[in-house]
Amino acid sequence: MLPVTHDYLSSVLGLRRAGVTQTLSRFEEQGLIRKMRGVLQIDEPKCLEQRACCCYKLISGAYASSQSAIPAKELIG
């Protein structure tokens, strides 16, 4: 699960929020992701990566970097 909002994705990708929402809705209809308030769950990562152009790699790389910057004790609880 990725704790991100549509606003965050739009600012990271330099896109309008409406475009991010439309794309996420399309991915959800295809069964690739599930949207929840403030969270995205990726159900089919390989298919998503194939359909998402370079955006998937940008987002997953940024997320991985942000998670490695959080001290382990904060991740545990």
Q: Where do the structural domains in the chain lie, given as residue ranges?
A: 6-67
pLDDT tens per residue, range 28-64: 999 999 999 888 898 998 898 888 777 777 777 877 7
What is residue 28's predicted lDDT score, i.e. its pLDDT?
93
Question: At residue 45, what are phi and psi to the nearest 5 degrees?
Answer: -60, -40
H helix or E strand, kind and range, residue 26: helix 17-29
* Distance in angstroms (rounded) separating the CA atoms of residues 74 and 14: 29
pLDDT at 77: 46
For residue 70, pLDDT beyond 60 = no
Residue 33 has a pLDDT of 92
Which residues fall within 8 angstroms of residue 28, CB to CB, at 6 or more apart? Answer: 34, 35
